[in-house]
Chains A and B, each alone.
Chain A
Amino acid sequence: MFAWMFDPFFWLVVPVIVLEALRVARSERKRQRYSVAMAALFGALELLVLGLCAATGSPLVFMLVMVVRLAIVRVRERAWWVRGPLKASLLLVALGILMAVGQVSSFAEVAGTNLDPTWRITILVLICAACAAAIMPVRIADEPKETLSAPLAFIVFVRVGLPLGAQEPLFAVVVPVVAVAMSLVCALWLFSAGKRANQFEDSTLVSELLVCERGVLLSFVWLGLASNEHLAGIGALLLWWSGSLALLALEASLRRRPLPKPMAFFALAMAVNLPGTIGFVAEDLLVHGLLYERPILAVAFVGVVTLNAPALYLALVNVIVDVHARYPHLQAQPDAPRSIVMLVAATLSLLVGLIPRPFVAGANQVYDTIVPASHRADH
């Protein structure tokens, strides 16, 4: 029951989880509502719970921890919300079926299990629905309640979805198409939010920008993982890192007043994967991976990438213009209160982006672990 999976995938997810915990611990709202110590405690709890989910090899433990996390977030946010329990329910049902019907007690056994196709498809649909729910931006007036870049659905997708999906020929065809379509919708919503910035509260505009961009980046990750292409998979894993860093940097810079504009622009460069950042390498690999076997998907991906960058830029520009209009008294103040989180995120992104070889090799190793060579499309 207490099997652990400290495999390369776990170590890949750890930085993402640490960033997520850091985001919770440094949350301005939580500091105001509770105290600095309590915010740090919530961050530590987030680290512990997400870390347990990534490390456990047992679906049962995963389910228990997921329910505990739901309770923690309920206490932390002082409100119920629809999407968290919905996603948890989808995953609980999927893992429940896997354990009950497939007699699976460890994630390591998933690839070898011989499920009836109907059950297999049911599980895959449930997991993919949870992933889609995690990607789809929900409009919020304040900080996002859930994780920005480390949804549990993605961990289940990698642990269960990919091994089961390898047995379904349509899996690698349908899921990437859904992922690209979702990325397009998220990019359009981002564009729309940027255009109608005057209809948003300050914090809501930032939240809207963040959740839409999260949707785009996670869709790309989902697309790469589900495409069953080697290069695209590695690109997706790297994009998971780069996306986490970019989202953290965006939030750290955009919620500050006076707005640190240089940092905000650098965070934008990270989010749209400009050269020098790790996202550039990830995007390059993703495009090359998709091109040879899935040219139409590659074209669609490139189209969304083209739309995403100006949409994000427009939203950012409107945040700046908005802040100028709302807080004219801050105009006279010096520009940039420095954010340590932002600086660390930027440094990491640049470091990995300029010396990507060991990280690409690491992501390659992770991909080999999560998608065995016999299951790959290029095999």
Chain B
Amino acid sequence: MEAIISFLTSQPPLHVLTCVTLLSPAAGAFVLVLLSVSGINPHERWVAAVSGITVTGAALAALLLAGLTMLRPGHEFDEVLWTMYSVESYHLDVSIYVDPLSATMIVLGGAVLPVLGRFSGRYLHKDPGYLRFFVLLGVAATGFFWFVLGGSIDMAFFGWELLGLSSVLLVAFFWDRSEPLVGSGRVFATYRVADIALLTSAVLLHSYAGDSSWASVFGVGELEGAHLGTFPATVLGLAVLAAAIGKSAQVPVTGYIVRAMEGPTPSSALFYGTLSIHAGVYLILRFEPLFAEAPIVRIAVFSVGLLTAITASLSARVRADAKGALALASAGQAGLMLAEVGLGWTTLATCHLLAHGLLRLTQFLRSPSWLTDAQARRSAFGGGRFRSDFYAERLLPIPLRNWLYAAALSRFGMDAILDRLFSRPLSALAHLASSSRPRMRKRDGARIADACAPIQSVGSAPHVHVHASTSKGVH
């Protein structure tokens, strides 16, 4: 038995599993793209089969990889697979790093992805974007596994961006309507800021630690981790927190998650119930050892998390649509996890992450049948009420309760504040910068009457835009 375990936990089997995990979903997506561009219109069954085999294969390989790594002494597997490029002393290695933390995330991804693939195969039956969905599912799975298994922050960044890209494109899945497109714009802008924050973290890590691999920064086995000092650890920690805030929909950018619900339900479950929403938490958990040198970051992580937990939970309670409520509740739970990390309770946060991801997946996937479920529950209660008349809010004074209700409805005005602080000044700046440019002319040569019309906010643009475009009568 020991010989078998020893063989299985040696490098060759783990290398094979790694390659299957990292490449299989990408290969599936690539095959589907090839089928699409070559003019072959594959039957839904074939699309689902290709995606199912590759994504499920990757998930199984990932679960095995996590399990076998846990059998290794030290519970870690760190390996540089190849060097992508190198210039003088700078090099980018494709590496893998599995430890108990990444194993937990792998378990989440490995459990979720096959279920989602199976569910989506039926849910999107006869949808014109059927193939596109499964291509993006493959990209998302690839991104997730690279993010979690990547042995350095550079590799994690690679996966992080792929995960974000697939998420945005799935929000814009129904692109014949303008709302999903505009909603995806908001998600893209938020993710891009988070991307840049993570890129900054990567560059800072290179600069401060001299290396970006998790093994050298946090230490593996007898190898001691890097000691950055208070200031570098604080700057780095704040950059990482900024990235996590964007990805995990924390205060003040929680609002984008509601717009992201324009995508199909399986994609909402995948990103905003399980994988993407927890990516930020995972990142904070990964960097947690550095926070020992940066108490300010700990306080910031705790504060952001707690604030999000309170505001998002309250907003979720007044939200009228099921998916929006679930998304806000997910953000609130992610906030709680961050608060736990801030307090140093990393094991609790990791367990919380895993349990929450699995529960939320079920809730999201059941959300289209919410009414049926509610009726079934009511029947189970004999037709009577299945909720008591007691709500904790009743303990509050009425004016405060009303204020909280209104504030929760508007998500505590955070979207408006962000618009006022960023969108409007940026629009005004863009307007100012382009005011010197020659005005456009209509096709009939008439000068546009009001070229200096106020710039519409992202949320309101399409309505104005569509009417204006249609009114030109260009066909």
Which of A's residues lie within 8 Å of B, judged by CB?
139, 141, 185, 188-189, 191-193, 195-202, 204, 230-231, 234, 261-262, 265, 269, 272, 274-276, 280-281, 284-285, 287-288, 291-292, 298, 302, 305-307, 309-310, 313-314, 317-318, 320-322, 324-327, 329, 331, 335, 338, 343, 356-357, 360-361, 364
Name the one of A202, A230, A284, A356 contacting B88, with C-beta atoms under 8 angstroms. Answer: A230
Q: Bound state CA distance, A276 and B434, in angstroms?
A: 33
Given contacts A284-B92, A310-B185, A356-B84, contact A324 B176 (CB under 8 A): yes
Dominant secondary structure of chain A at its interface with chain B: helix
Name the one of B36, B39, B132, B462 contacting A321, with C-beta atoms under 8 angstroms. Answer: B462
**Closest approach, in angstroms, between the C-beta of A213 and any C-beta of chain B?**
15
Shortest Cβ distance from B131 into A: residue: A262
**Closest approach, in angstroms, between the C-beta of B137 and any C-beta of chain A?**
15
Interface string of B447-465 (1 = CB under 8 A from A): 0100101011010011011
Query: Closest 10 CB pairs between A and B?
Result: A198-B468, A310-B189, A192-B430, A192-B434, A325-B469, A360-B85, A188-B433, A191-B430, A188-B430, A317-B181
| The stretch of B98-106, B111-119, B157-165, B336-344 that contacts the partner chain | B157-165
CB neighbours of A199 from chain B (8 A): 440, 448, 451, 453, 468
CB neighbours of B462 from chain A (8 A): 321
Interface pair B474/A326, CB less than 8 Å apart? yes
Interface pair A288/B469, CB less than 8 Å apart? no
CB neighbours of B88 from chain A (8 A): 230-231
Given contacts A199-B451, A317-B182, contact A288 B433 (CB under 8 A): no
CB neighbours of B442 from chain A (8 A): 201
Q: Bound state CA distance, A141 and B443, in angstroms?
A: 9
Shortest Cβ distance from A317 into B: residue: B181
Q: A202-B474, A291-B207 are in contact. List 6 more A-B contacts (CB 8 A).
A: A201-B474, A230-B88, A274-B165, A275-B161, A291-B206, A307-B426
Select the residue from A188, A196, A201, A325 with max chain B CB neighbours within 10 A.
A196
Cross-chain pair count, CB within 8 angstroms: 161
CB neighbours of A291 from chain B (8 A): 203, 206-207
Name the one of A192, A307, A314, A335 contacting B431, with C-beta atoms under 8 angstroms. Answer: A192
**Closest approach, in angstroms, between the C-beta of A189 and any C-beta of chain B?**
5
CB neighbours of B451 from chain A (8 A): 196, 199
Given contacts A287-B203, A302-B199, A322-B469, contact A230 B87 (CB under 8 A): yes
**Closest approach, in angstroms, between the C-beta of A291 and any C-beta of chain B?**
5
CB neighbours of A357 from chain B (8 A): 83-86
Q: Bound state CA distance, A102 and B185, in angstroms?
A: 53
Shortest Cβ distance from A298 into B: residue: B203
Q: Bound state CA distance, A3 and B85, in angstroms?
A: 35
Interface pair B469/A326, CB less than 8 Å apart? yes
Given contacts A230-B88, A306-B196, A324-B176, contact A195 B455 (CB under 8 A): yes
Does chain A have a CB within 8 A of B300?
A: no
**Closest approach, in angstroms, between the C-beta of A259 and any C-beta of chain B?**
10
Name the one of B37, B86, B199 contacting A343, with C-beta atoms under 8 angstroms. Answer: B37
**Closest approach, in angstroms, between the C-beta of A353 and any C-beta of chain B?**
10
CB neighbours of A356 from chain B (8 A): 84-85
Chain B contributes a number of interface residues (CB within 8 A of A) equal to 69
13 contacts across the A-B interface (CB closer than 8 A): A188-B429, A199-B468, A272-B192, A309-B188, A309-B189, A310-B192, A313-B185, A313-B188, A325-B469, A325-B470, A329-B475, A356-B85, A360-B85
Shortest Cβ distance from A202 into B: residue: B474
Interface residues of B in 57-110 (CB under 8 A from A): 83-88, 90, 92
Q: Bound state CA distance, A344 and B85, in angstroms?
A: 23
Name the one of A200, A272, A292, A314 contacting B207, with C-beta atoms under 8 angstroms. Answer: A292
Q: Bound state CA distance, A83 and B451, in angstroms?
A: 24
Shortest Cβ distance from A357 into B: residue: B85
Interface string of B158-175 (1 = CB under 8 A from A): 110110010001001001
Select the residue from A197, A320, A325 with max chain B CB neighbours within 10 A.
A325
CB neighbours of A343 from chain B (8 A): 37
Interface residues of B in 117-146 (CB under 8 A from A): 128, 132
CB neighbours of B184 from chain A (8 A): 313, 317
Interface pair A204/B440, CB less than 8 Å apart? yes
CB neighbours of A335 from chain B (8 A): 128
Interface pair B132/A195, CB less than 8 Å apart? no
Q: Bound state CA distance, A329 and B475, in angstroms?
A: 9
CB neighbours of A322 from chain B (8 A): 465, 469
Interface pair A261/B189, CB less than 8 Å apart? no
CB neighbours of A325 from chain B (8 A): 465-466, 469-470
Given contacts A202-B474, A261-B175, A318-B465, contact A188 B83 (CB under 8 A): no
Q: Bound state CA distance, A204 and B207, in angstroms?
A: 44
Interface pair A195/B441, CB less than 8 Å apart? no
Select the residue from B430, B438, B440 with max chain A CB neighbours within 10 A.
B430
Shortest Cβ distance from A276 into B: residue: B162
Q: Bound state CA distance, A298 and B90, in angstroms?
A: 17
Q: Bound state CA distance, A194 and B437, in angstroms?
A: 15
Does chain A have a CB within 8 A of B367?
A: no
Given contacts A306-B196, A314-B458, contact A200 B427 (CB under 8 A): no
Does chain A have a CB within 8 A of B178?
A: yes
**Closest approach, in angstroms, between the C-beta of A230 and any C-beta of chain B?**
7
Q: Bound state CA distance, A318 and B429, in angstroms?
A: 20
Does chain A have a CB within 8 A of B200?
A: yes
Shortest Cβ distance from B455 into A: residue: A195
Interface pair A189/B470, CB less than 8 Å apart? no
Interface pair B203/A326, CB less than 8 Å apart? no
Interface pair B431/A198, CB less than 8 Å apart? no
Interface pair A364/B87, CB less than 8 Å apart? yes
CB neighbours of A314 from chain B (8 A): 185, 458
Shortest Cβ distance from B186 into A: residue: A310
Interface residues of B in 272-312 (CB under 8 A from A): none
Shortest Cβ distance from A314 into B: residue: B185
Q: Bound state CA distance, A54 and B188, in angstroms?
A: 39
Does chain A have a CB within 8 A of B193?
A: yes
Q: Bound state CA distance, A261 and B182, in angstroms?
A: 15
Q: Bound state CA distance, A285 and B175, in angstroms?
A: 35
Q: Bound state CA distance, A172 and B181, in angstroms?
A: 42
Given contacts A326-B469, A360-B87, contact A310 B188 (CB under 8 A): yes
**Closest approach, in angstroms, between the C-beta of B165 and any C-beta of chain A?**
6
Given contacts A262-B132, A274-B161, A274-B165, contact A196 B176 (CB under 8 A): no
Interface pair A324/B178, CB less than 8 Å apart? yes
Name the one of B193, B200, B461 contacting A195, with C-beta atoms under 8 angstroms. Answer: B461
